[in-house]
Structure 1
Amino acid sequence: MPPSDDVVLRVENLTRHFPVKGRIPFLSGGVVKAVDGVSFDLRRGETLGVVGESGCGKSTLARMLVGLEQPTSGAVRFGSAVVHRARGRELRALRRRIQIVLQDPYTSLNPRRTIREILLQPFEIHPDVLDRRRRIERIKELLDLVGLDPSLHLNRYPHQFSGGQRQRIGIARALALNPDVIVCDEPVSALDVSVQAQVVNLLERLQEELGVAYVFIAHDLSVVRHISDRVAVMYLGKLVETGPEIDLYESPRHPYTRALLSAVPVPDPAGRRQRQRILLAGDPPSPVDPPSGCRFRTRCWQATDTCATAEPPLAAGQHPVACHYPLAA
């Protein structure tokens, strides 16, 4: 791993709780613990994959990383700056360094603006980045960088593009200000499989050329394995296991991680018959009233009384796991 001084983004005990308002007596007045004590470091030029079930807090985490959502507690540090505390010029400078690629390529682009106008907007918001005479040349470079022909596509509207092409435009917009970090919030989930491969390969190529770091959020575990250097597994607002991609996929130590990986489709029929499929009992608990102790204990096949009374910490190390009885590597 790179040395610690190469950390570009540091997340410290980040939480986000949403108050519950309504007429249901046993829910009203509570809080939804969407993200509850998440910590990790992102190093320059690496990709951290984040996986987990729907509703585990991945997208809320992504929005806090770029400052679109204010945390309840904790901090997101970019260098010496704290993202959610930045104001004025400091916030404007941070916006340039941390960008996001949104999940839906159909609603993330303004339908009333041409691609020229969409890609010029970052430079209009940050006029000191680039001289006005260089901007058209720069957006042509961005389109060429993501594999689109400027002479054909510059004056078209978003509805004239396919989903994969729209996502390429979204990536070009994220790259416009030369950021250090791009948060990819499920950037390929709305695309066809063949287009997914093109976008993932594009992201890898751009990382090699530009040295940008990614936080890559996705449901598809095979895509995450392909692109990630490290992987973090979330369950009900918490990280339960993190580690290098090969260690986590080949030797998962948390029961939830092993169950999650056992659900990945195997194209080889012989390998599919040999693999043990782990079926978890019940549904994920409500984030309004999570279980005491270990949050996975209500679905875990090896839970004990200790799991109900003490919350397992995510210990430090190369491959930390938040479990009282981690599985053998």
Structure 2
Amino acid sequence: MHADHSGKKQAREEGVIARKLMARAQAENAYAEGEAILEVRDLVKHFPLTQGIVLKRQVGAVKAVDGVSFDLHKGETLGIVGESGCGKSTVAKLVTHLEQPTAGTIRYKGEDITRLSGRALKAVRRNIQMVFQDPYTSLNPRMTVGDIIGEPFDIHPEVAPKGDRRRKVQELLDVVGLNPEYINRYPHQFSGGQRQRIGIARGLALRPEIIVADEPVSALDVSVQAQVVNLMAKLQDEFGLSYMFIAHDLSVVRHISDRVGVMYLGKIVEIGTDTEIYEHATHPYTQALLSAVPVPDPEAEEGRERIVLEGDVPSPANPPSGCHFRTRCWKAQHRCVVEEPLLIVPENFTDTAGDEPVHHPSACHFAAERASVMPPAEG
């Protein structure tokens, strides 16, 4: 009788395990078909402003991120562009849990990671890695390349046993285009582009599903930028990565991104495919950014309109009411002062077909195309 009871218990346990494995396989298949692997909703990050030395009191807050929402699909590259101080890097830190959000949710495969801690958070961080902006300060000068790339294995020893780590590090160096024999060298012995390749290798060490690249090429020469961007595109195909790619350079973002989100003062003001944003932008701020992109063809450049924004970017500690862009916008009216525009398909485009290039979200009450400012389409 005891043996019969043990057999039933083992059968139940095996049944539970089988159901879990089946559910996991179904989930992985669903994400492989292009569902959102990362869902960000109403993300907010306010940094408090305080007064006093002994008895500190909060007198305000810097609204670095003020209600950002987007999806990142498996195998996709989402580019984020905008001026300095618009909140791009803060979004990157929030997604990688280097900062705790003030409000909002970040769901990785359906699980809200903003509420995780301990082992659960550690497991998620293995799948969401980051490549930092500065290849000079993001690498410890006192550690060899082998120690830098192999450090993630110390935190997650289940990925690579100790006896196998040197080989894995050399494989990663080879993957990013560096000589595996460089494993014992120090960061100062490499160029800027080579250092960024080391940073990418470190990000790949745990075989993540998502890499957040925070301006990974802005500190590099133009020729080296192209090499690093092409390397990242190659690695995406090879490892099935999803990228959140942050940059200032609009041409770099277009080259690598499937979709592009434009940020201004803590908010995404327009989001769509690269064609929708670069050839059919409807938000005035996006149009102003595109009008500033230099064109190598003098004849094409002569026929374009240059939009020069007046005034400075408002302080994120005291953003304007209504539309944050209204203080610099030539279209601004009273409605922009009292009513904040939603990031939706504009009313004047809702009757167009879903596959029309202007049928994409734009946070503007008076959204419209302005073809004269757009750089010519890439050939």
Relative to the length of structure 2, the TM-score reads 0.83
**Distance in structure 1 (CA, Å) of the matches to 2:58 and 2:157:** 46
Greater shift after overlay, 79-88 or 180-189?
79-88
Q: Secondary structure at the match of 2:184?
A: coil
Q: Does structure 1 residue 20 correspond to structure 2 residue 49?
A: yes
Which residue of 132, 138, 141 maps to 1:102?
132
**Distance in structure 1 (CA, Å) of the matches to 2:367 and 2:361:** 10
More helix per residue:
2
- How far residue 5 of structure 1 moved from its aligned partner, in angstroms, is 6.3
User: Could you tell me which amino acid in structure 2 is paired with residue 220 of structure 1?
Assistant: D
- More contact order relative to length (CA 8 Å, sep ≥ 6): 1
**Distance in structure 1 (CA, Å) of the matches to 2:324 and 2:84:** 16
1:1-329 equivalence runs, <5 A:
6-22=35-51, 29-151=59-181, 153-315=182-344, 319-328=360-369
Q: Which has the larger radius of gyration?
A: 2
Q: Deviations over 1:271-317 (max 9, x none)?
A: 11111000011111111111111111111111110010000000168
Runs of 4+ more than 6 Å apart: 2-5
**Distance in structure 2 (CA, Å) of the matches to 1:167 and 1:328:** 38
Which residue of structure 1 aligns with residue 374 of structure 2? none
Assess if the C-alpha contact under 8 Å between 1:66 and 1:83 holds in 2: no
**Distance in structure 1 (CA, Å) of the matches to 2:342 and 2:245:** 24
- How far residue 82 of structure 1 moved from its aligned partner, in angstroms, is 2.1
**Distance in structure 1 (CA, Å) of the matches to 2:256 and 2:279:** 16
User: Structure 1 pair 28/72, CA: closer, same or farther in 2 (3 Å)?
Assistant: closer
**Distance in structure 2 (CA, Å) of the matches to 1:244 and 1:4:** 18
**Distance in structure 2 (CA, Å) of the matches to 1:3 and 1:248:** 26
Assess if the C-alpha contact under 8 Å between 2:144 and 2:186 holds in 1: yes
| RMSD after superposition | 1.6
**Distance in structure 2 (CA, Å) of the matches to 1:5 and 1:227:** 18
Assess if the C-alpha contact under 8 Å between 1:97 and 1:177 holds in 2: yes
Relative to the length of structure 1, the TM-score reads 0.95
Q: Deviations over 1:155-176 (max 9, x none)?
A: 1000110000000000000000
Pairs aligned (count): 324
Q: Deviations over 1:192-226 (max 9, x none)?
A: 00000000000000001111000000000000000
Q: Secondary structure at the match of 1:154?
A: helix
Could you tell me which runs of 5 or more consecutive residues in structure 1 were left unpaired when the two chains were aligned: none
- Percent same amino acid at aligned positions? 61
**Distance in structure 1 (CA, Å) of the matches to 2:150 and 2:121:** 20
- How far residue 81 of structure 1 moved from its aligned partner, in angstroms, is 2.6
Q: Secondary structure at the match of 1:21?
A: strand
**Distance in structure 2 (CA, Å) of the matches to 1:230 and 1:3:** 18
User: Could you tell me which amino acid in structure 1 is paired with residue 143 of structure 2?
Assistant: R
**Distance in structure 1 (CA, Å) of the matches to 2:80 and 2:110:** 24
**Distance in structure 2 (CA, Å) of the matches to 1:53 and 1:83:** 28
- How far residue 119 of structure 1 moved from its aligned partner, in angstroms, is 1.2
